[in-house]
Structure 1
Amino acid sequence: MQHDSGGPADRPRKRGQGELENQVLAVLGEAPGPVTASWVQERHGGDLAYTTVMTILSRLLAKQAVSRGRDGRSYVWSAASDAAGLTARRMRRLLDTETDRASALVSFVSALSQEDEQVLRALLDASTGDPDAAAPDERER
């Protein structure tokens, strides 16, 4: 006898790595101030168990992406960074594990799209205060 349940079509879609963390950060980013895990759970849509929200918040705390304080007997949570900041932390953490940082950076930059490379160049030029880093139309004047 065969059962129709339990197959791949019956399972909910598996979330991508970091997707829940980014969603929780987005909810915290909309908060009027420090909020409880229950507040996050409700604003997320209520489809996550309270324990799941607490686990995500705890992981984000370990990554320094959120801060935690007390309001009476409850913990309250605030975003310390947005999703972009969390991605940047992940990138730095991965780079910190690399013994040949230069090769890792070369591989990363060589895999960028032309648009991403231009953004990165502009950011690096701006951070060094390079006067020749003006926009191309300004250099032509």
Structure 2
Amino acid sequence: MPASRSQSRARGDLEQQVFAALAAGGGAMTTADVRDALGGELAYTTVMTVLARMASKGLATRRRVGRSYAYTAVVDSAEVAAHQLHKLLDARGDRAAVLTRFARGLSPEESQLLVDLLAAEDQ
């Protein structure tokens, strides 16, 4: 039995397509808006699941609109990375261990930048 079109897509490919449609929308879009922008062939629940996962990864923000959500693409990669780091810190419990391993992977220049940023926060 041949796989359907939605089953044959790679998960990352579908997420990229949904993200592109969301980013091209220029503002908040509902699941139905995104589905329509993609040609309307995908199941509503498939698009809804992808959008929810994108929101949990920090790739999109969502706000309640009636009984649904409206999503907006997060196009600032630094914001996405910061969101992911915060999620990791929250999930691990031992924040010091996570931060220590992160800091050990920094170059001397990156370490100095981090020190400078932290010092600026204290002022």
Aligned twin of 1:68 = 64
Aligned twin of 2:30 = 36
Q: For the residues of structure 2 that align with 1:118 and 1:43, how far apart are their CA atoms?
A: 45
Q: For the residues of structure 1 that align with 2:44 and 2:108, how far apart are their CA atoms?
A: 43
- Greater share of helix residues, 1 or 2? 2
The residue identity in structure 2 corresponding to 1:57 is L
Aligned twin of 1:93 = 87
- Higher Rg of the two aligned structures: 1
Residues 48-95 of structure 1 show CA distances to partners (whole Å, capped at 9, x for unaligned) of: 54322111223455678322313xxx8451328546334322321221
Question: Is the CA contact (8 Å cut-off) linking 2:22 and 2:34 kept in structure 1?
Answer: yes
Q: Percent identity?
A: 34
TM-score (norm 2): 0.57
Aligned twin of 2:71 = 78
How many aligned positions are there?
A: 115
Aligned twin of 1:55 = 49
| Structure-2 change in CA distance of 1:98 and 1:52 (3 Å) | same
Question: Is the CA contact (8 Å cut-off) linking 1:61 and 1:68 kept in structure 2?
Answer: no
Let me know the Cα RMSD of the aligned residues: 4.0
Q: Which runs of 5+ in 2 are unaligned?
A: none
